[in-house]
Amino acid sequence: MNKFPQLSSDQDKNLPECPEIPPDLGPLDIRVVYNTSLPMIISQNPNIRPGGRSRPQHCMAQQKVAIIIPFRNREAHLKTWLYYMHPFLQRQQADYGVYVVEQMEDTVFNRAKLMNVGYATASKDYDYSCFIFSDVDIIPMDGRNLYRCSTNPRHMANSVDKFNFKLPYNDIFGGVVAFKKEHFIKVNGFSNVFWGWGGEDDELFQRVVAVGLKVDRPDQTIARSRMISHKRDPGNERNGKSFPLIRKAYKRLHQDGLSSLNYTIISITSHKLYTKVTVDIGDGE
């Protein structure tokens, strides 16, 4: 198993704090990228350090942000995500690391459990204060959509092209969400028992409400995001048990989540643009 690159969390304490709103941010032209490669992205982003880490050189970022991406067999989407997101996050003067959490087995996909594993793994790596849980196929279309935590858990994908930049329903909490560390602990993370597509994000919304928090959302103009269209993946068929599970969300809150997370890390590899965490999360049986 590759070790994490040892990166000190100490930074020059004499650096000024970065401004609340970074300069020169605005709309971005986002489309699927075909004519790039990881070596090209690496050469276009010379300041990224091993494991997909970066922080501003001339000021101290106000938050330390881990970006967690659940993953299996989506190399092309990951390339597009990395192509846009490293420049995006650097322009936002973020102190961040990217964690791609890959489900090893061919068994039914469990997005939520991968998110929990990403949280647990990134937390051991650096003293992150903010966790952004992002699908690999969602790219923000405006630099002013700050990839940071706010007072409450934040639903960042509230203006997606697929839904004509509107919310399909009020409580939707999918795609990209941001949690301060203490809030993610308070909700006991995601549930681990959602195997297959759908519902785990709705359940997380219920957890937020159950612990007395609210959901923040960015302004819908600024939050415009592109969702790369694709077919449903094999092994991620609709979960027929979602609705009964969500109905019992409050009951399971303290038993099911970070507190009951079990998994086996297969490898942690420090790639140039991200940290790849390959994990055996079981098969739900």
Sites of contact with ligand UDH (CB under 6 A): 69-74, 109, 111, 135-137, 197, 231-233, 235-236
- Looking at the DSSP assignment, which residues form a beta bridge with residue 65? 96, 130
217 noted as active-site residue: no
Nearer to ligand UDH, 95 or 137 (CB): 137
* 29: annotated active-site residue: no
Q: How far is the CB of 183 from ligand NGS (least distance, A)?
A: 20
Given ligand NGS, ligand UDH, none, residue 72, with its beta carbon under 5 to 8 Å by kind, binds ligand UDH
Among ligand UDH, ligand NGS, none, partner that 199 touches (CB below 5 to 8 angstroms by kind): ligand NGS
Residue 276 contact among ligand NGS, ligand UDH, none, beta carbon within 5 to 8 Å by kind? none
CB 96, min distance to ligand NGS, A? 24
Decide if 135 is catalytic. yes
Q: Which of 22, 70, 198, 218 binds ligand NGS (CB under 6 A)?
A: 198
Binding mask 169-188 for ligand NGS (x = CB under 6 A): ---x-x--------------
Q: Which stretch binds ligand NGS (CB under 6 A): 49-57, 77-85, 194-202, 229-237?
A: 194-202
**Using CB under 6 A as the criterion, which residues of the chain lie in contact with ligand NGS when the complex forms?**
172, 174, 198-199, 201-202, 242-243
